[in-house]
């Protein structure tokens, strides 16, 4: 049976050892002594499963729009600093953080 990395990662150590028992490969030799992390890596190597999880980017994300939103928020942030409005400043900084986080999550 062909497995994906996520399927293998979701299994318990006992289930992984059952799978390793049926695999005839040097990578899983001594499978009964391996912990889950090492057993998972060995099984992926033996079964030729890609260990890099591929994320799916959101379809309708516009990078330029997000960057322009950050610039606008920074202007509002500067105004809040000048006015010494700490509650507004904290809220704006959190919004900037969230937009930057969204950019990094989607575009790496």
Does 40 share its domain with 67?
no
| Residue 99 domain flag | yes
* pLDDT tens-digit map of 61-105: 788 999 999 999 999 999 999 999 999 999 999 999 999 998 888
Does 72 share its domain with 42?
no
| Residue 90 domain flag | yes
| Residue 53 domain flag | no
Q: How many domains does the structure of the chain reveal? A: 2
* pLDDT tens-digit map of 20-40: 988 888 888 888 888 999 998
Give alpha helix (H) positions in 3-85. 5-9, 13-22, 36-47, 63-83
Is residue 40 within 8 A of residue 64, CB to CB? The reply is: no
If pLDDT is split at 50, 70 and 90, which confidence band does 1 have?
low
| Residue 33 domain flag | yes
For 92, the domain range is 63-107
């Amino acid at each position: 049976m062909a497995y994906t990395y996520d399927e293998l990662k979701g299994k318990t150590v006992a289930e992984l050892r059952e799978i390793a028992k049926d695999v005839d490969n040097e990578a899983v030799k001594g499978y009964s002594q391996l912990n889950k992390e090492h057993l998972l890596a060995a099984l992926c190597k033996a079964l030729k499963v890609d260990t890099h999880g591929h994320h799916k980017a959101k379809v309708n994300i516009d990078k330029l729009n997000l960057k322009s939103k950050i610039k606008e928020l920074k202007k509002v942030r500067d105004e809040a600093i000048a006015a010494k409005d700490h509650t507004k400043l904290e809220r704006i900084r959190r919004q900037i953080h969230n937009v930057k986080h969204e950019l990094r999550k989607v575009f790496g």
